[in-house]
Structure 1
Amino acid sequence: MHVVSYAPEQRIRVPALAAGWVTQTFVHWPFRSDEVRPLVPDGLVLDEYDGAAWVSFTPFVMTDLRPSALPTVVPGLPAFPETNLRTYVRSRDGCRGIWFLSLEVGCPLMLAARAVGVPYHPGTVSVSRQEDLVRYAGSRWGGGASYEMAVRLGEPITPAERDEWLTSRWRAYTQRLGIIWETPVEHEPWPLRAAAIVDLQENVTSAAGLPRPHAEPLVHFSEGVRRVRFGLSRPVGRAARRR
């Protein structure tokens, strides 16, 4: 079954962090499962759509990241761009979520999350927009991975099942000290637009251990969601990364 909720699957009663995600593009590629499985810990199951394991390249701008206990009149961190490369997984109890293959970020404070298993890479990351043309770029400090992408925005769409399956995920999984951890997230539904890639040059996928994509990507754009709430992480199983 492909069912996934377009609205949050759980309410977060005690949020740990709040933020917004804006100017976000989703670039989705289908891969063979055997190409992605070695990059995911044994404690998680690849979540497939029509027999394919999907990988998504998603640049965006993080806004107003803050501990949720702070009053809203206190500003959070200044906005900064981020890009993640992710695939789709299920825990052993069947809960759907995402597994990050890499995250590119220009905000050094975010590197603290590496201590809890989030694979951030520091670098120079940028997002710019001229009307309906959005440009994203990033390069890791010290080399190793970079990208440049231009996207032309289209009309708003009513999400079909596959669109919801790819964009509406309410958990992120990480691994630290041999334990799989689940972090829930809650936000309003994504307002999606069609989009087309004008130019894309990247080696982030190959740096993560993936082959070249076999098919043209499916692309979405969203102006964003501004009421993102992250819950407390909890352990959901023990696993070792495959070699």
Structure 2
Amino acid sequence: MRSLLSMRWDDLCFAHWPVAPGVVEPTLPEGLTVDTRDGDAYLGIVGFRMASIRPRGAPVGLSFPELNLRTYVRADGGTGVYFYNLDADDPLGVAIARGLFKLPYYRAEMSVRDRGMGRIDFRSRRTHRGAPPARFDATYGPTEEPTVVDSDSLEAFLTERYRFYTASEGGRLYRGDIEHDPWKVSAATLDVRENTLFAANGFDRPAGNPIVHYSPGSDVTAGRIRRVDTA
């Protein structure tokens, strides 16, 4: 992969709810099918800090929090992520991401505060004109030392994703690839005070508590998106 952007992702919270595949399948663009584990599809909320986002060779870059709602899919012989939204606290970053990667980025007011003892307060309020309102307010943190997980584990299924898929307004399907070291993850706690991301994307809130993981982060590079042939 020829790198287009480099960045750092820090203090990631992965929160996943198992759902029936039929909940996800009708929401996917043509060319994508839902990826399942033991018969379950997953809706995941992932929040983190993005730091030093810059084009190849640039000395400085952008830094801001991001919050996304996603699911996991299969296409063109591979597996990856399909995003329903990516909210970010930087107007320039949102504009660049929407233009370069055709991803559903939205502007938001966000704050990430380290409370100490590994606990992170994460708040987001969408401000993007014309987009459905969305709020998220939670505290998360690890319960053990993060480690690299087995490649066949559920943890790897939910976190080790190196490709994303997106569709243009005209319905053309694209894929993009990222590279990073395998995540070091641990079980984590998540105290959610407010979460309207499901409703903002047309989903009922999944039943039950989420499966929660934390990662301290990794350096990441991203390449250009490419057209996917769905014929």
What is the TM-score of this pair, normalised by structure 2?
Answer: 0.90
Alignment match, 2:155: 163
Alignment match, 2:93: 110
Alignment match, 1:4: none
Distance 1:152 1:233, change over 3 A: closer
What is the DSSP-based 3-state SS (H/G/I as helix, E as strand, rest coil) of the residue aligned with 1:155? Answer: coil
Unmatched segments (≥5 aa) in structure 2: none
1:4-153 matches, cutoff 5 A: 12=1, 14-70=2-58, 74-77=59-62, 79-91=63-75, 93-112=76-95, 113-115=97-99, 116-131=101-116, 132-141=118-127, 144-153=133-142
Two-structure CA RMSD over aligned residues (Å): 1.6
Does the 8 Å CA contact 1:191/1:223 hold for their aligned counterparts?
Answer: yes
Distance 1:233 1:152, change over 3 A: closer
| Larger CA deviation: 135-144 vs 45-54 | 135-144
What is the DSSP-based 3-state SS (H/G/I as helix, E as strand, rest coil) of the residue aligned with 2:204? Answer: coil
For 1:199, the aligned partner's letter is V
Higher RCO (CA 8 Å, separation ≥ 6 residues): 1
Separation in 1 of the partners of 2:213 and 2:204?
Answer: 22
For 1:140, the aligned partner's letter is R
Q: CA deviation at 1:117?
A: 2.3
What is the TM-score of this pair, normalised by structure 1?
Answer: 0.86
| Larger CA deviation: 157-166 vs 169-178 | 157-166
Q: CA deviation at 1:153?
A: 2.2
Does the 8 Å CA contact 2:141/2:214 hold for their aligned counterparts?
Answer: no
| Larger CA deviation: 58-67 vs 29-38 | 29-38
Q: CA deviation at 1:66?
A: 0.5
Q: CA deviation at 1:203?
A: 0.6
Percentage identity across paired residues of the two chains: 34
Aligned residues: 221
Q: CA deviation at 1:100?
A: 0.3
Separation in 2 of the partners of 1:111 and 1:76?
Answer: 14
Unmatched segments (≥5 aa) in structure 1: 1-11
For 1:55, the aligned partner's letter is L
Separation in 1 of the partners of 2:121 and 2:225?
Answer: 33
